[in-house]
């Protein structure tokens, strides 16, 4: 199988999470689709690094870090804050003249062009962060009640909210990259907000909705991964055909 062309899927975590949130995905995907979670500074294996609260700066850092791994087809995936980070990363890669992703997958996050991030621009109190965690319905009550664990998690979550608040679309031109958006039918992120992603691509666009609240990627993991895998397979097949076309022309 070593000669099989593989697609690398860079995955960006949601607020408060680490690269470990995609651990199950690495075991679930077929061999040709390699899940590559990106660890952000200040968490997981990068716990000794300072937390970042400036999105353009973090995207520039990540672009530099993964530049050597763009020697094969790849795509970007992000859930919630991770979807916005994936968008910022795609622009940072374009600014550097690096190969573009075959696709950008944005999950449970409003389109960048018209979103209002002003509520995230000011640091939240612990009480406000706890309220938000309960609203998102993605954290077990046992975790919320664990004061020691929350003492570790809240600074990360606070920095991530500021990270979101630092985002500015600034009227950037659309990406020449297909954008596939996933949403939860019971999520507070509305369909019209998900459809706003259309203005940021001059290529293909799709929207798929799943049962569940903000963390439907956990509740609906199997159908979500099946859908993601189908899109990824289509883009990789298209990429293979594009690579083969110049060779076929040369042999004529």
**Active site (catalytic) residues:** 80
The rounded distance, in Å, linking the Cα atoms of 46 and 29 is 25
Tokens coding 90: 């795609």
- Strand pairing partners for 224? none
The rounded distance, in Å, linking the Cα atoms of 169 and 167 is 7
The rounded distance, in Å, linking the Cα atoms of 115 and 77 is 19
Asked whether the beta carbons of 207 and 105 are under 8 A apart, the reply is no
- Report the greatest alpha carbon distance in the chain: 70
Output the CA–CA distances (angstroms, integers) from residue 243 to 82, 143, 196, 229, 247, in the order listed: 30, 49, 32, 21, 7
Name every residue whose Cβ is closer than 8 Å to that of residue 159 and which is 6 or more positions away in sequence.
Answer: 42, 51, 52, 53
Give the chain's length.
Answer: 252
């Amino acid at each position: 199988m070593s000669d099989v062309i593989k697609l690398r899927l860079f995955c960006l975590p949601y607020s408060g999470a680490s690269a470990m949130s995609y651990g199950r995905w690495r075991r679930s995907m077929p061999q040709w689709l390699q899940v590559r979670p990106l660890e952000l500074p200040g968490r997981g294996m990068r716990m000794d690094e300072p937390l970042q609260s400036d999105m353009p700066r973090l995207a520039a850092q990540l672009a530099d870090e993964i530049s050597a791994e763009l020697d094969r087809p790849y795509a970007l995936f992000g859930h919630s804050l991770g979807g916005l980070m994936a968008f910022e990363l795609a622009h940072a890669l374009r600014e550097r003249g690096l190969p573009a992703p075959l696709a950008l997958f944005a999950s449970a996050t409003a389109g960048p062009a018209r979103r209002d991030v002003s509520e995230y621009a000011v640091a939240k109190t612990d009480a406000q962060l706890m309220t938000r965690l309960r609203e998102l319905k993605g954290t077990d009550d046992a975790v919320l009640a664990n004061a020691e664990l929350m003492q570790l998690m809240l600074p990360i979550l606070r920095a991530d909210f500021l990270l979101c608040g630092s985002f500015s679309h600034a009227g950037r031109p659309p990406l020449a990259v297909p954008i596939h958006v996933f949403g939860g039918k019971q999520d507070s992120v509305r369909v019209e907000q998900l459809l706003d992603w259309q203005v940021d691509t001059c290529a293909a666009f799709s929207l798929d909705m799943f049962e569940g609240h903000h963390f439907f990627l956990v509740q609906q993991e199997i159908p979500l991964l099946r859908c993601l895998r189908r899109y990824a397979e289509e883009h990789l097949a298209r990429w293979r055909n594009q690579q083969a076309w110049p060779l076929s022309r040369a042999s004529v």
